[in-house]
Amino acid sequence: MWMDTKPEVKGANRRQTNTIQHVLNGLLLFTGDMRHLDKYMQDKLFVLQLAVGALRGVTMVILANNPLSGALILIALYWTSPWMSLLGALGVLASMLTALIIGQDSAEVTAGVHGYNGMLVALLMGALSSAGDWYWWLLVPACLGSATCVFLYSSLSSVLDRWDLPVSVFPFNTVIILYLLCTGPNNPYFPHYPSLPPGTLDPNDTDLVPAEVMRGVVLGVGQIYACEELGPSFLILGAVLLYSPLLLLHALLGSAIGILAGLSMAVRHECLYSGLLGFNGALGCMSIGGLCFIFNWRTHLLAIACAFFSSYVDIALGNLLGTVSTRWSSRGFFGDVSHVFAVFFSAMNSVPLLPQVGLSASSWASTIIITLMLLLTGSLATYRIPSDQVMAPEHNRSFRLSWKSGKVTEVESTDVGCG
Amino acid sequence: MWMDTKPEVKGANRRQTNTIQHVLNGLLLFTGDMRHLDKYMQDKLFVLQLAVGALRGVTMVILANNPLSGALILIALYWTSPWMSLLGALGVLASMLTALIIGQDSAEVTAGVHGYNGMLVALLMGALSSAGDWYWWLLVPACLGSATCVFLYSSLSSVLDRWDLPVSVFPFNTVIILYLLCTGPNNPYFPHYPSLPPGTLDPNDTDLVPAEVMRGVVLGVGQIYACEELGPSFLILGAVLLYSPLLLLHALLGSAIGILAGLSMAVRHECLYSGLLGFNGALGCMSIGGLCFIFNWRTHLLAIACAFFSSYVDIALGNLLGTVSTRWSSRGFFGDVSHVFAVFFSAMNSVPLLPQVGLSASSWASTIIITLMLLLTGSLATYRIPSDQVMAPEHNRSFRLSWKSGKVTEVESTDVGCG
Amino acid sequence: MWMDTKPEVKGANRRQTNTIQHVLNGLLLFTGDMRHLDKYMQDKLFVLQLAVGALRGVTMVILANNPLSGALILIALYWTSPWMSLLGALGVLASMLTALIIGQDSAEVTAGVHGYNGMLVALLMGALSSAGDWYWWLLVPACLGSATCVFLYSSLSSVLDRWDLPVSVFPFNTVIILYLLCTGPNNPYFPHYPSLPPGTLDPNDTDLVPAEVMRGVVLGVGQIYACEELGPSFLILGAVLLYSPLLLLHALLGSAIGILAGLSMAVRHECLYSGLLGFNGALGCMSIGGLCFIFNWRTHLLAIACAFFSSYVDIALGNLLGTVSTRWSSRGFFGDVSHVFAVFFSAMNSVPLLPQVGLSASSWASTIIITLMLLLTGSLATYRIPSDQVMAPEHNRSFRLSWKSGKVTEVESTDVGCG
C-alpha cells in the first residue's frame, strides 16, 4: 500500500527516521484525493471553495482529483502556450458558473464535476483553431461551448444514472464535434484545421524512428490536454504521479498500447510520433486499472484489453470522422492547373467537389469503451467500484480490503468521472 | 391569465359589457386544448371522434392541440398546394388507421397522438420529391411511410417512457431519412431533390436584405409544415395563436433566434430567407417556453437557450447530412464538357464519382435538444410538467398555480408530443 | 401441431403404423430445441458440453438452436470453402473460451449464447478479406474480434435486459464495422474488398432473369453465413428445417420479400441475384414469425411487415455505409489516363481524392428492426414470448396454448438470441 506505508525501522537512527517519516507523512497529505482539504475548506469563502473545485476539475480530465495536480497542469499548459492555459481556465470557470446559474447541486459544483468538460471544449477549440493564438473572438464559442456542456452533463446523467454510469466526457465530445460541424474549415469567423485520419502508411514511407516512438508514448499522455510538447507532458505526468503512481503507470502503459495498436494497423507515422494515437489508450487503461475497478491481476489484464479496444476504436473512428467531409469547395486547390481544368471545374460549378475537412475523433473511443466496460456482467463486475465511491486507486484498494474485513465506515466521495 | 380573463366593469355600459364578455367567453371556448369538445364527442360516432383526433394530430406537429387550428392549418396547406394538403391529410389518416389495425390504445388514437408523425412523413416526401405535383405513385411510399411511424412510435415509447419522455417526432425523422437513403436522387420511381448544407457564405455574396430576413422569421414557422409561402405561413401563425398566444410568441422568437444563429455562422443567405434555419429554433423555443415547463422568467431564458442550441445543432447536422453522399454517379453533369473529359470519366467508370445528394436534417436537432432539456436535473427540473399533463401554456401555468395553492383536481389530458 | 402429431389409425395395418410412428417419434427427438440432450449431457465431460454448446451457437446465427443443425451448417460451410469453415469454428471457440476466461455465467456458455457473434465476425472477416483463402495472419483479427464480441455482449445485455431485449447480433455488427473502418481496403496486413451500395439500376441494364431471382431467394438464406453457393445454401435450409419447418417457411418468405423490396427501389440486379438483399428480410421474418411471438395470423402479418422494414432499412443503410469513404487515394485508378491527368492529379496531391471503400451494412437492419418490434406496445405485445422462454416456433405455440388452458409447468430454456 502506497498511502499507508509505515516503515518500521529499529536501531540508532530511529529519531532521524521519525523525522523523515514525519516529513513523508506530511508530503502524503498532498497526494491522493486530498479529502481533508475539503473538510478544511468547508467554512471558508465560497469563492475559495470554487477555486479548489476548479483545480479539481482541471485534473478530472486526466481522471485524477487533486487540486495541486490541477495547479501543476495549469502550469504545464502555460508552458506550452499562455493562450491555451487562458482558454482552459476560462472553460472551467464558464462551465462551473453556468452550473451554479442553472441551479445544479452546489456541492457537485464545488467538487469540480462540472469543470472538466468545459475545459476540454475550450482547449480543443483553441488547439484546432487555425486563426492563431490570441484570436479574441474565439472566447465567445469557447465560453458558450463550455456552458453547453453543463446542460448536456445534467441531461445525460439522468439517463446514465440508471446503470450507475458516469457521464464522463460525453458532453465534451458531443459539443466539440458539433462545433466543428457547425463552423467548418472555411468559416470566416471561426476557421479550424482539418483532422487527418490515421489512414494507411505510404509504401515508400521512411522507417520508424524508435526514439520518436518513445517520445510519442509520453506525448500521448500530454495529448489528453491537447499538449504536443515534451516538457509540459512530463509535468502533466508529474501531476498524475502526485495523485497516484498506479494511475501514472497505467497512463504510460495505455499510451504505449495505443502505439502498438497503431503499428499493427500500419497507420501513418506522424500519428504515432505526435501521441495522437496514445491518449485514448491511456484514458482507457487508467479508468479500468485501479480507478473504476479494484486493482488486481484480473482487472490489470482487463485494463490492458481496454487500452487495446480504445486504441482500435479510436483508429476506426478517426478513419470514419477524418474523411467525413463537412464542406465541399472547388476553390483554392486548383490555382496552378491549366486552363483546361478551369473549364472542367466551371462545368462542375453546380456540384461542389472537394472535401476539405475531417472531424476529430477526440476521445469518443475511450469514453464509449470505458462505459461498456463498466457495464460488464459476470465475475469481473464484482471488482467494480460504485461510481460515487471512486477515489485514487491506492485508496480504492485499501478501502475494499478493509471492507472485506468488516471495517467499513461511511465514505463521502464524489464522482471522479471515471473517464 | 389569458383564459380566465374576467374584466370587472361597472357603470351604465354594464349590459353591453356583459354581452361582449359573453361573446368573448364563447370565443375562448374555441381556444386552448378544447377539452370540453372531447366530452361532447364521447358518445358520438367513432368516425367523428377520429376526424377530431386527426385535426388534433395536424396541430401536434406544431405542438398545439386544437381541432380548429388543425382545420386552419389544412386550409393553409391547401392554399400553398392542394397536392401537399392531400398528402398531409392522407398521412394523418394512414397512420391513425394503422394504429387502430395493429391494436394501439384507441383512446390514444382518437386523441390524435398517432397522426402527426405520419403527416410530416407524407408532407416531406411531397416537398422533397422532384417528380412534381400530382405524381400519384408517391402516395404508395407516403402511406407506407406514415404507417411505419406508428410502429416506431409504439416501440420508442416503450423505451422513452422510463424517463417520462415524449416520443415526439423521432419516428418522422427516422422514416424520412431512411426513405431518402433508400431512394436517392436518381431513383427511377421516386426521385427527390438533394438537400444543400447551410454551408459557408461565398466571399463575394450579396449583402443581407433585412426585409427578406424578417420574411424568413415568419417562413421559419411555416417550414414546420414544409410550407415556403408567406400567406399560408401567416395562417399557420394564426392557428398557433388560436391555441395559445404565448406559444405564438415563442414560435416567432425561436425562428428569429435560428436566423441569428445562422448569421453568427455565416451560412448561405438562402437558408435564412427560406426559413429553413428557423424552424428548429421555433420548435425548441415553443417546447420549453410554457409547454413542457411552467412559464416563468427562468424557463423563458431556458427556452431562448434551447432555441440557440437547436439552431446550432441544426446547422451542424445540416452540414453533416447535407454532404453525406448516398449515390455516386458520373452521368448527367458533364454533358457539356469537351471530349477529353469523356475519356477521363470513362477511365473512372469503375469507381462512381460525384456525390449528388444531401440528406435533409429535418427536425432532428430540435427533437434531440428538447429531449435532452426534459432530462435536465437540478432546480430547473422542478418546473417541468409531467408528459401526460402537458396542455396549453396558459392552462399549464394556471394549473400549477392552483396546484400550489392546494386546489388540484384530477386532470385528464393527453400527450401533446412536447416537440 | 408438428411435434405432437399423433395420427390415430385403425384397422389391419395398425402394427405397421405403430412401427412407423415409433421411428417418427424417434426422429422427432432430433428436431426442435433438443432439450433432452442437455439433460443427458449434464453429468458428462465439460469439454463435451462445450462442443454441444458450440454447435448450438453455430445455429443461433440463423435463430435456430439444435446441435445437429449446427453440424449440418458446418458441413455446408466446409462444402463452400474449408477455409471459411475453419474460420467459423475458430470464431465460435475463441468467443466461448473468452467468455469462460472473463468469468461469464458458465451455464450460458455451455448453452452457446456466446458463440454466434464470434462465429459471424470470423466468417465475415474471411468473406470480406481480399487476401485470399489460407491467409493465416487473418486468424489473429478473427480470434481477437470474436473475443471482443463477448465483452460487448456482456455490456449490452446489462442495458438491454431492462426491456427484456435479446442482445442478438449487435456485437457482431459493431465489431465487423469497426474492423472494416480500422483496416480499410489498402491495409498492407489485412486488405478487404469494398462493399458496393445497392445503388440504382443503370438505365441500359439488362433485363431481370427470373431464374436468377429464384436462386437469389435461396442464396438469401445462405448469405446469413456469408455463403454464396446454391448447394450449401440448400444444406443450410435443411438445417433450419430440422429445427423447425415454420422457421424455414419464414426464412424463404423473408428472403423473397427482401428481393421484392429491392425491385421496388430499382437496385442493381447483382444484389438481387447474390442474395445480399434477402438475408435481412429472412432474419426479420424468422424472428417475428413464431420465434419471439406466438405464431398466428396477426403475428404472421407482422412478420411480413418486419421483413419489409428490415429490407428497406438494409437498402438505406447499404446506400449510406456503402458510400462512406474510409480511405482516400489518388493512386491506382488512373494508370491508363493520359499525361494531362497526371498533371491534374499531381495538382491535387495535397488532397487525397477517390473514395474506394464502402462499409458493409451486414445485419444492422434486421437487428435494429427486430429490437424495435420486440418493444411494440398495444395488443400485439400480448403475443410476445419472454426472451428467456423462446424456443422453436412449434413448441412456443403449444406451450402458449397449454398455458392458456392452465397446464403450465416451469420451463427451463435459454435465450435463443431472437435475431
What is the C-alpha separation between A341 and A339, in angstroms, rounded? Answer: 5
Do B182 and C373 lie within an 8 Å CB cutoff?
no
Q: Cα angle vertex C393, ends C392, C399, to 5°?
A: 90
- What percentage of chain A reaches a pLDDT higher than 90? 57
What is the C-alpha separation between C136 and C125, in angstroms, rounded? Answer: 12
Greater model confidence, A168 or A337:
A168
Q: Answer whether A310's CB lies under 8 Å from A258's CB.
A: yes
| pLDDT tens by residue, B41-57 | 888 889 999 999 999 99
Instruction: Report chain B residues whose CB lies below 8 A from the CB of A189.
Output: 264-266
Do C372 and B151 lie within an 8 Å CB cutoff?
yes
Q: Which of B259, B376, B286, B322 is nearest to A171 (CA)?
A: B376
What is the C-alpha separation between C251 and C273, in angstroms, rounded? Answer: 17
Instruction: Report chain A residues whose CB lies below 8 A from the CB of B338.
Output: 343
Residue among C161, C193, C265 with most chain B CBs within 10 A, to mutate: C265
- What percentage of chain A reaches a pLDDT higher than 70? 83
User: Which residue among A182, A328, A340 places its CB closest to the CB of B323?
Assistant: A328
Q: Domain residues of chain C, as ranges?
A: 44-322+357-404, 325-350
Instruction: Report chain A residues whose CB lies below 8 A from the CB of B200.
Output: 184, 186-188, 327
User: Which residue among B163, B320, B356 places its CB closest to the CB of A181?
Assistant: B320
User: Which residue among C340, C341, C377 places its CB closest to the CB of B157?
Assistant: C377
Chain C nearest-CA residue for A378:
C104
Give the three-class secondary structure for B122.
Answer: helix
- When mean pLDDT is compared across A24-28, A285-289, B63-67, the lowest value belongs to A24-28
B62, three cell numbers: 406544431
Looking at residue B14, what is its pLDDT? 73
What is the C-alpha separation between C123 and C179, in angstroms, rounded? Answer: 13
User: CB atoms < 10 A from the CB of C9, how many?
Assistant: 11
CA B37 to chain A, closest CA, distance in angstroms equals 37
Instruction: Count chain A–chain B contacts defined by CB atoms under 8 A.
Output: 100
Mean pLDDT (whole number) for A71-84: 95
* Residue keyed to cell 431533390: B193
Instruction: Report chain B residues whose CB lies below 8 A from the CB of C377.
Output: 104-105, 154-155, 157-158
Chain B nearest-CA residue for C370:
B155
- When mean pLDDT is compared across A33-42, A354-363, B44-53, the lowest value belongs to A354-363
Residue among C299, C337, C376, C380 with most chain B CBs within 10 A, to mutate: C376
Residues on C contacting A at a C-beta cutoff of 8 Å = 102-105, 148, 151-152, 154-159, 162, 177-179, 181-184, 186-189, 324-328, 340, 343-344, 347-348, 350-351, 353, 355
* pLDDT surpassing 60 at residue A319: yes
User: Which residue among C197, C316, C375 places its CB closest to the CB of B158?
Assistant: C375
Looking at residue A259, what is its pLDDT? 94
Instruction: Report chain C residues whose CB lies below 8 A from the CB of A334.
Output: 347-348
What is the C-alpha separation between C21 and B176, in angstroms, rounded? Answer: 55
Return phi, psi of residue C284, to 5°: -60, -45
Instruction: Report chain C residues whose CB lies below 8 A from the CB of A341.
Output: 344, 347
Instruction: Report chain C residues whose CB lies below 8 A from the CB of B102.
Output: 302, 376, 378-380
Instruction: Report chain A residues whose CB lies below 8 A from the CB of C148.
Output: 309
Which homologous superfamily does the CATH classification assign to the domain defined by B44-322+357-404? Ammonium transporter AmtB like domains (1.10.3430.10)
* Residue keyed to cell 451486414: C362
Q: What does pLDDT average to in each consecutive run of 10 residues of chain B (419 residues)?
A: 47 75 86 87 89 94 94 95 94 95 91 94 93 92 96 95 93 95 83 80 76 94 93 95 94 96 90 91 93 92 96 92 54 33 36 52 94 93 89 82 57 42
Looking at residue A417, what is its pLDDT? 42
Element (DSSP H or E) covering residue B234:
helix B230-243
Instruction: Report chain B residues whose CB lies below 8 A from the CB of A103.
Output: 378-380
Looking at residue B98, what is its pLDDT? 95
| pLDDT tens by residue, A5-21 | 444 545 556 778 788 88
Residue among B257, B280, B306, B319 with most chain A CBs within 10 A, to mutate: B319
Instruction: Report chain A residues whose CB lies below 8 A from the CB of B201.
Output: 188
User: Which residue among C155, C181, C350 places its CB closest to the CB of A376?
Assistant: C155
Looking at residue B113, what is its pLDDT? 93
SS3 labels along chain A: CCCCCCCCCCCCCHHHHHHHHHHHHHHHCCCCCCHHHHHHHCCCCHHHHHHHHHHHHHHHCCCCCCHHHHHHHHHHHHHHCHHHHHHHHHHHHHHHHHHHHCCCCHHHHHHCCCCHHHHHHHHHHHHHECCCCCCHHHHHHHHHHHHHHHHHHHHHHHHHHHHCCCCCCHHHHHHHHHHHHHHCCCCCCCCECCCCCCCCCCCCCCCCCHHHHHHHHHHHHHHHHCCCCHHHHHHHHHHHHHHCHHHHHHHHHHHHHHHHHHHHCCCCHHHHHHCCCCHHHHHHHHHHHHHCECCCHHHHHHHHHHHHHHHHHHHHHHHHHHHCCCCEECCCCCCCCCHHHHHHHHHCCCCCCEECCCCCCCCHHHHHHHHHHHCCCCHHHHHECCHHHCCCHHHHHHHHHHHHCCCCCCCCCCCCCCC
Do A189 and B377 lie within an 8 Å CB cutoff?
no
Looking at residue B340, what is its pLDDT? 37
Q: Give all chains having 3 or more CB-to-CB distances under 8 Å with chain C.
A: A, B
| pLDDT tens by residue, B49-85 | 999 999 999 999 999 999 999 999 999 999 999 999 9
Q: Give all chains having 3 or more CB-to-CB distances under 8 Å with chain A.
A: B, C
Q: Which letter, b or e, does each residue of C398-412 get, where b requires 16 or more Cβ atoms within 10 Å of its Cβ?
A: bbbeeeeeeeeeeee
Looking at residue C263, what is its pLDDT? 92
Looking at residue B266, what is its pLDDT? 87
Looking at residue A358, what is its pLDDT? 75
Chain A nearest-CA residue for C108:
A378
Looking at residue C413, what is its pLDDT? 41
Chain A nearest-CA residue for C103:
A379
* pLDDT surpassing 60 at residue A58: yes
Radius of gyration of chain A (CA): 23
What is the C-alpha separation between A157 and A153, in angstroms, rounded? Answer: 6
Looking at residue C192, what is its pLDDT? 85
Residue among A159, A178, A360 with most chain B CBs within 10 A, to mutate: A178
Greater model confidence, C96 or A206:
C96
C336, burial (CB in 10 Å: exposed 0-12, middle 13-18, buried 19+):
exposed
Do B327 and C379 lie within an 8 Å CB cutoff?
no
Looking at residue A371, what is its pLDDT? 95
Instruction: Report chain C residues whose CB lies below 8 A from the CB of B187.
Output: 200, 265-266
Looking at residue C324, what is its pLDDT? 62
Looking at residue A223, what is its pLDDT? 94
User: Which residue among B319, B338, B373 places its CB closest to the CB of A184?
Assistant: B319
Looking at residue A324, what is its pLDDT? 62
pTM of the complete model: 0.87
Q: Cα angle vertex C329, ends C324, C335, to 5°?
A: 130
CA A200 to chain C, closest CA, distance in angstroms equals 6
Q: Answer whether A159's CB lies under 8 Å from B163's CB.
A: yes
The tens-digit pLDDT sequence of chain C (419 residues) is 344 444 454 555 677 878 888 888 888 888 888 888 888 888 888 999 999 999 999 999 999 999 999 999 999 999 999 999 999 999 999 999 999 999 999 899 999 999 999 999 999 999 999 888 899 999 999 999 999 999 999 999 999 999 999 999 999 999 999 999 888 777 888 988 888 788 766 666 778 889 999 999 999 999 999 998 999 999 999 999 999 999 999 999 999 999 999 999 888 888 899 999 999 999 999 999 879 999 999 999 999 999 999 999 999 998 888 876 543 333 333 333 333 333 333 333 333 333 345 788 889 999 999 999 999 999 999 999 988 888 888 888 887 777 666 544 444 444 444 43
| pLDDT tens by residue, A43-57 | 888 999 999 999 999
C19, three cell numbers: 412401427
* Helices within B295-359 (DSSP H only): 297-322, 339-347
The one-letter amino acid code at B182 reads: C
Looking at residue C396, what is its pLDDT? 83
Residue among B301, B331, B372 with most chain A CBs within 10 A, to mutate: B372
Do A353 and B356 lie within an 8 Å CB cutoff?
no
Looking at residue A388, what is its pLDDT? 85
